[in-house]
Chains A and B, each alone.
Chain A
Amino acid sequence: MLLASGTCGYGQEYAGLIPLDEIGGLVTKAVSLEPRPGNPPHRVAETPGGMINAIGLENPGLHGFIAEKLPWLREHLSRAQVFVNVVGHSAEDFAAVVSGLDGEDGFLGYEINVSCPNVKGGTMFGTDERALADLVARLRGCTERPLVIKLTPNVPDVGDFARICEEAGADGLSAINTFPGMVVDISRREPLIGNRSGGVSGPAILPMGVYATWRARQTCGLPIMGIGGIRNAEDALQYVLAGACLVQVGTASFVDPGAAVAVHEGISEYMQANGVARLEDLVGALGARPGAGPAIPAG
């Protein structure tokens, strides 16, 4: 399991708080070609069953990431696997970041963010089938490292976009990014968030994330990282049974920095209690009751 992009900084922030090398790994905050200053405040607020954020992809840019963030990841993590979340305004931007990073050590692969709802054009690639196919194919030509596409739920059928990613050469999917939302401050009669709208995450979106994972599993054979609203092992196992082979813990880490550790331990306890030898036996195993023998993988 991994800490989700945007909720764990660049890893260093969690040093000393949780044993990063024991949970699986993390996905970094987004990296763009040029530094981005981010959005004005308020950038975050609590919502019923979740939170809304519009950070605006603040990040030090490709060269800043290589100089300031990557060395810590390289030097301080040994077992933890790192994916670098990549954003861009254009296909050229995405390609420049991936090409610029590809010769560096300290990370395993890329999570391509085609689904951020908090910047102008942030979901452009994730909601346009042709643009997504072209982008994935182009990035496939830039790297041999694992290429994971982070899908937006804001499409008629996530399954269609999952299949497009597979056909264009992606290695995996992250399902899902946040839902666009708005909170109104009735005393000021203005949107509460400085960007006016933001992305909603947290337990409120758990069933939508599980559904998106299940749909993606039905239409393609790529490994899926399930993400959205996971608080505990029970939530994570819903994703696994719906088809995810990895999960990401995001907003829950704000409530308890140890949430990911608890999810990790809870999954192991569930497997022990149910006689499951390998997590793979649970992946997409809807309908296979505990004790009914090995599940037959779907798809």
Chain B
Amino acid sequence: MLNAGGGVAVERAAPVSRRAKLLSTRFVARDTWWQEFDCPDIAAAALPGQFVMLGVGLDEPGAWLLPRPFSVGWTGPGGEVGILLRAYGQGTRALAKLEVGQTALLLGPLGRPFETEGADVECVAGGVGLAPFIFLAAREASAGRRVRLIYGERDAGAVFDPALIASLTDHDPELFTEDGSAGRKGLVTAGLDAASGALLLGCGPTPLLRALAAFARKHGRRLQVSVEEHMGCGIGTCQGCVVRGADGRWVKACIEGSVFPAEELDWGAI
């Protein structure tokens, strides 16, 4: 089966909705937690680049919280699903307060994954855009392949514990911070290698994705990006999470993405 980008589309499992117990939660950086949920169905089916909608559901009287999309950050052999959660606002702060043993509602796996087809891969992550690449690097490591993982944060306080990354992925990320307080000083894009022919994968803030798209265009590199937009449902019903496609259409990040080959998007409008 051919996808819109001309590559071979990966078979995706149908999403399921599951109430899942929080197995562990670990404070890993400023405002940032690594949470693992007991959710074997989603763990077995998820592919790197796919995401889950995570919320508390409707059971709490008076509670109201729309679910938020999170990249699947890792899947464990015991059916664990790991996510990297940075508390930006009211909703993510509420999710960060979940305690071990409490449950949350997970809907997934959702969206279009990265399609690497065994290629050499360079992953470029900004902030919690690191999450799908932990999953990808771990999968690749278990298949005996290595990926290059370039990870940028604003400063040392925001950096996700490198030792935990290494333990999950068997990879040491190349770290950049804007103020130089950890790793090399500079934007994560400073780590890009113009001479490399590897497939570029990007996830992070929109300015980073724009810079990657410009770099890829300039150097003739293949690039896939994971985009994010305010999302209501994650399954295409609300039509809320659109970005501008290269053909002028609004494309839905949740079901047509969230991973897109860069050439499918209108970078002038993103």
Partner-B contacts on A (CB < 8 A): 6-9, 13-14, 16-17, 29, 37-38, 40-46, 48-51, 53, 55, 58, 202-203, 231-232, 252-259, 262
Contact = CB atoms under 8 A, between A and B. Distances in A.
A49 B62 CA distance: 9
Nearest to B229: A41
B236 A9 contact: yes
A13 B256 CA distance: 13
Most chain-B CB neighbours within 10 Å: which of A42, A43, A231? A43
Interface residues of B, number: 31
A42 B229 contact: yes
A9 B231 CA distance: 14
Contact of A46 (B66, B105, B235): B66
B17 A17 contact: yes
A258 B17 CA distance: 8
Interface in B8-35: 14-17
A255 B107 CA distance: 10
Contacts of B242: 38, 40-41, 43, 58
B249 A37 contact: yes
Given A44-B232, A255-B64, A256-B58, 11 more contacts: A6-B238, A17-B235, A29-B237, A38-B242, A41-B242, A42-B230, A55-B238, A58-B242, A254-B232, A255-B105, A256-B17
Interface of B: 14-17, 55, 57-58, 64-67, 90-91, 105, 107, 229-233, 235-243, 249-250
B250 A13 contact: no
A256 B60 CA distance: 12
Contacts of A256: 17, 55, 57-58, 105
Contact of B239 (A43, A49, A252): A43
Contacts of A231: 58
A118 to B, nearest CB: 11
Contacts of B238: 6-7, 43-44, 53, 55, 254
A60 to B, nearest CB: 11
Given A17-B16, A41-B229, A262-B58, A255 B67 contact: yes
Given A55-B238, A203-B64, A37 B250 contact: yes
Q: Which 10 A-B residue pairings sit nearest by Cβ, starting from the closest?
A: A44-B240, A9-B237, A43-B240, A44-B232, A42-B230, A13-B237, A46-B66, A254-B233, A16-B14, A256-B57
